[in-house]
Structures are given as structure tokens and as C-alpha cells.
A and B are shown apart, each in its own frame.
Chain A
Amino acid sequence: MDNKYFYEGASGPWELVIGLEVHAQIISHSKLFSGAATTFGGEPNTQVSFVDAGMPGMLPVINEECVKQAVKTGLGLNAEINLVSVFDRKNYFYADLPSGYQISQFTRPIVGKGYLDIELEDGTVRRIGITRLHLEQDAGKSIHDQHPDKSYIDLNRAGVALMEIVSEPEIRSAEEAAAYVRKLRAIVRCLGTCDGNMDQGSMRVDVNVSVRKAGAPFGIRAEIKNVNSIKFLMQAIHYEAERQVALLEEGQEVVQETRLFDSSRGTTRPMRTKEHAHDYRYFPDPDLPPLVLEAEWVEKIKKTLPELPDAKKARFIKDYELSTYDASVLVSEMETAAYFEEALKSLDPLTPKTAKLLANWLIGEVFGALNRENKLLEVCPVSPKHLAGLITEIHKGVISGKIAKEVFSMMWETGTEAAALIKEHGLQQVSDDSAIVAVIDKILAENGPMVEEYKSGKEKLFGFFVGQVMKAMAGKANPELVNTLLKQKLEN
């Protein structure tokens, strides 16, 4: 077993066991069981129907689109779709839960077992099992900081559709947990079933952490809530693992409880509400008959699924001979893959060589510039078509790699295409042998002693000569030619 998975305690190494429960808000116009809108950030209680407010006599009616989205997601997770599923009531009292129960699915969820593959930094792929996915209602929001002894309740979010996606406890490290969340996020964004916005709360992660000695049965786990970024997820896991190891090393027991992550301190602490309260008394919701799906309906959805990240990555590797790493980066975000594929359309010629070059430039220069200016790819000043144009110019040998960087900057600033800029600024590289030879001769003539030193063994000086030639030609000489011709000249 790999060392990186172990936390060292005085009594030896401890293995980390992690399960993730992700709540993903479904993209739909209206809520799961009511016709109120789901838009984020509305004025309080303006997106609340009488059903959402739990008023007397109100009844739920399910939104077809939400069911479709759950099925899509299940298919994207390689999971079984349960054609018959049941909604259960989860009963508990809280201010943001107007009916006093949440409509969820307990015994028979809409999606059963599946999996997703995560890629670790060293390139290994691990398959993480998914236990189930079910549909449930989101709760409203309690606002606690407007008044010293009162809380205010906004029910806009109450009733919005959520998918709860539960992983098997097969994740073994914080890094794997991060990779899982990133992958899951990429899948739902690609499918259009959830926007994956952890900071807006449309994707929330609860993590179950326990530790054990290798080969031992599962230890007692703690559930950590309120982890709203991948960075915090990793921090929380690290903290929790160390906390549990310390406890167990001291001979104490880990308490099964729900803890909150405190992002300002990077620690977890137990929730203040008493745990005894939680006997949810699940029973099938008598207002809702079983959800019965037709196999053809599910098949139809399957046929309309877009290409998922893993398939796209495999295709990039196969068709364009991209490296696993490059392909992974390109598919990690929908927008990146879309940009890349759009650029490929204008790439002339489209060969593995040019595709690779395009990938490098996208991942390197474009991302670099975006990061510096804190911009998203969606607002990149260089369009996919234009980037492809630049690659074409490089590939044709019109400009050198170094000049290309200058051209790129100008493209970024002006939004003009490469060919025009190259022409306007006369940046074409010189590939005329005689012109280069003439300059080489001049440089070598001007630097006689150094030539001698080079010939007597100081091979490093080659670079110096190259540099001088390039300088004399204002960088526009074709570097490969310079190298070849210079070498030839020096050998004589």
C-alpha cells in the first residue's frame, strides 16, 4: 500500500476512509414539487408558492425536468436507473423546513449503483463506487446575523430540487476526495444538470471521515458539513484525520457525530444542536404514488447525452495523440474542452503535431494570461479561431516560437488575428539561408577569439553565437536554421 495514504501515529500508520455525500442543485426553471422559480438571489420569499410555504392542504406535484436531470446524471455516472422509485418523508423540525418534513427518497432511490474514475497526480486512475443518487427537496435559508436574538427565514430555496450523490467509502486521501469532487463537478456541468458552483451553494459536500489500521474493520466516522470549496475540503479532511488519529492513539474513542468545518481556523468542531433529535421516521409519502419510468424514456435520454469528460479525454488521446496530462486538463472544464474543439475546427492543417501545439498554447500561454488578469476563459480576448491561426503560423514556420509570444501579446491586446499582425509588424522569420549565413559570417568574424575558444572545447559558447545572430536579426531568424547553419560553419 502506498505511503501517501497513511497518517503516522505513535502506534503505526493509520489508513484514512472517506465517503462523500454531495448535494447538487438541479438546473431547472421551477422547483421539484412546486411551480415556483429557482433563480438564485431573488428577493426574500418572492419565489415561494403556498406548497413551498407548507400551508394547510397543499400538495406536491413532481417536475418532469428534475426527474430527467437525475436520470441523466445517473447515466453519466454509469449507474443503474431504477424504473420504479419511491419518495419518502424525512421528518424533523427546523425553521427552514416549513412542512416539518423533507420529501426525499430513502429505501428506493431513482438511481442505484454506479462509479466514476478519478485521476491522481501521478497519472494512476482509481475507480470510486457510487452507492446511489436520489432526489430530494432543498430547505430554505435561515439568516442569523440580522438581529441579536431572532433568526429570519427566507423560503426561496425551499423545495428546489437536489440530487444527493453518495459515494462508497472508497476514497483514501484528501487528494482523492478533491479529484472526486472535481470529476463529479465536471460531469454534472457537462451534462447541464447542475452548475457545480460550490461558492454559491449549488453544490455542497458533506464528508464522512474515519481512520483504521490497515486490514481492520471500518472505524467510527464523523460527518463534516459546511465545506464549501475544494481547498476547504482537503483542509477539513487533513484536520479531521489527525484529530481522530490523536484520539485513538490516546486510547479514546471517536464520537459518531456531525461536525462543522471552521474555515477561518481550518478546524472542525461538533455542532451545537443535540443529536438525539434525529429519528427521521422515514415513511413513503402518501401524497405521492411511486415514480414509474418507462425504459424507452430512459433510453431516449441516454441517446441524447453529450460526450462526457472521460470519453472526450480518450478521444483526444486517440485522435490527436495528446498526452494523458494534457487531455485531462482540457476536459477538466467544459469551457476549456469547448474552446479547444472550436479552435481545432480552424486549425490548418489538423494533425497530431498541430493539435499538440494548440493544446500547449491553450494550457500554457492562454491560461497564464487569463490567470494574470484574473479572467475566465469565457471572456478570453483571443478567440479559438484566432489561436488556431497563430498555431498555423508557427507550424508553417512563418514565425518562431519566441516571436509567437510577442504576436500573442498583441493579439491579446488588440483582438486582431495573427497573420495580419505578423504582416503589419514585419515579424516573419527569416528562413533564407543566404541571409542567415551572411549574418553568421559577420558574427563569427567579429568574435574571432571566442570562436577559437569554442573550437578548443568550450562548447557552451555555441549558445552565445546563436544569441548574437538572433539579436542581429532582431529575433526573426528561424532558430532551427540558425542552429544548423551555425553548426556547419563552426565545423569548418
Chain B
Amino acid sequence: MSLDQKTIKRIATLARLKLSDDRIEPMQQDLNRILHFIDQLSEVDTSQVTPMAGGSTLFMPMRKDVVTDGNCVEKVLENAPEVACNMFVVPKVVE
């Protein structure tokens, strides 16, 4: 599987990364090397295998419906680059 630059740009947009023109080609090379490496997986017969759910816990623990958190506006906002009226500020989004 090989990636063309158009695909890389699309993926970069999905990931909200911008690649300058001079960086696209080295990145393309790196990514293709990695993908080529990953392609080995197709050698494995996994037709009878279920994907691993991961981790050692077999089921999700549940917590009781009690308010135990929040009510800490200052802490939530204290690292924010820009705040107004106790809200995070971003460039305007038009829907």
C-alpha cells in the first residue's frame, strides 16, 4: 500500500496538521516505509480470530450517580490561552 501526496494531505487535514510543501515528500517517504513494514500483517491468517478487546479488565465497572466533580471553574480555565466571561475563546465558527 502506497500513499500519494493527495491522500497524505487529506489525512493531514483529518488530523489537523499542515505539511509545508518541502515537508510533504520526506513525510511521504517515511509513511510509505512504515506502511510497507505494516503490510506484513496480511500474511497472518486471522479468519478464525476475534479482535482483542485489550487490557486485563473484562467488563466495565460502573459508578454511582452522585455529583462528585465539577464546580471548579478557575481550575478548569487557569491554563487556557484565552478566556472571556468564564468561557474558552476561539476564532468564530460560522455554521
Residues on A lying within 8 angstroms of B by beta carbon are 28-30, 34-37, 43-53, 61-67, 93-95, 142-144, 146-155, 260, 271-273, 276-277, 279, 281, 284, 286, 288-292
| A153 engages B66 (CB within 8 Å) | no
User: Assuming the A-B contacts A35-B63, A46-B71, A289-B58, are A273 and B95 also in contact, with contact meaning beta carbons closer than 8 angstroms in the complex?
Assistant: yes
| B67 engages A30 (CB within 8 Å) | yes
| B76 engages A53 (CB within 8 Å) | yes
| B60 engages A62 (CB within 8 Å) | yes
CB of B85 to closest CB in A, whole Å: 6
What 13 new A-B contacts, CB under 8 Å, besides A151-B93, A289-B59?
A34-B70, A35-B66, A44-B86, A45-B88, A49-B72, A64-B65, A65-B64, A147-B84, A150-B84, A150-B92, A288-B60, A290-B59, A291-B60
Name the residue of chain B whose CB is nearest to the CB of A287: B55
Instruction: Let me know if B12 is at the binding interface, CB within 8 A.
Output: no
Chain A positions within 8 Å of B75 at CB level: 50
Give the dominant DSSP class at A's interface: loop
CB of B2 to closest CB in A, whole Å: 20
| A62 engages B62 (CB within 8 Å) | yes
Chain B positions within 8 Å of A66 at CB level: 65
Name the residue of chain B whose CB is nearest to the CB of A279: B14
Task: Map CB proximity to A onto B31-55 as digits: 1 under 8 Å, 0 otherwise.
Answer: 0000000000000000000000111
CB of A419 to closest CB in B, whole Å: 47
CB of A163 to closest CB in B, whole Å: 15
| B95 engages A260 (CB within 8 Å) | yes
| B70 engages A35 (CB within 8 Å) | yes
| B73 engages A290 (CB within 8 Å) | no
Give the dominant DSSP class at B's interface: loop
Instruction: Let me know if B3 is at the binding interface, CB within 8 A.
Output: no
Q: Which of A45, A148, A276 contacts B87 (CB 8 A)?
A: A45
Residues of B in contact, count (CB < 8 Å): 39
| B87 engages A143 (CB within 8 Å) | yes
Chain A positions within 8 Å of B55 at CB level: 286, 289
| B93 engages A30 (CB within 8 Å) | no
Q: How far is the CA of A66 from the CA of B63 in the complex (A)?
A: 10
Chain A positions within 8 Å of B59 at CB level: 289-292
Instruction: Let me know if B27 is at the binding interface, CB within 8 A.
Output: no
| A49 engages B69 (CB within 8 Å) | yes
Listed from nearest, the 10 A-B pairs whose CB atoms lie closest are A36-B70, A65-B65, A35-B69, A35-B68, A49-B69, A64-B62, A292-B59, A152-B87, A153-B88, A289-B57
Chain B positions within 8 Å of A44 at CB level: 73, 85-87
Chain B positions within 8 Å of A48 at CB level: 70, 72-73, 76
| A35 engages B14 (CB within 8 Å) | no
Chain B positions within 8 Å of A143 at CB level: 87
| A153 engages B87 (CB within 8 Å) | yes
User: Assuming the A-B contacts A286-B54, A292-B60, are A151 and B92 also in contact, with contact meaning beta carbons closer than 8 angstroms in the complex?
Assistant: yes
CB of A150 to closest CB in B, whole Å: 5
| A95 engages B90 (CB within 8 Å) | yes
Instruction: Let me know if B6 is at the binding interface, CB within 8 A.
Output: no
23 interchain pairs, CB-CB under 8 A: A30-B68, A36-B69, A45-B73, A46-B71, A47-B70, A48-B76, A50-B76, A62-B60, A62-B61, A63-B64, A63-B65, A64-B63, A64-B64, A64-B65, A147-B92, A149-B91, A152-B85, A152-B89, A153-B87, A260-B95, A273-B95, A277-B13, A284-B53
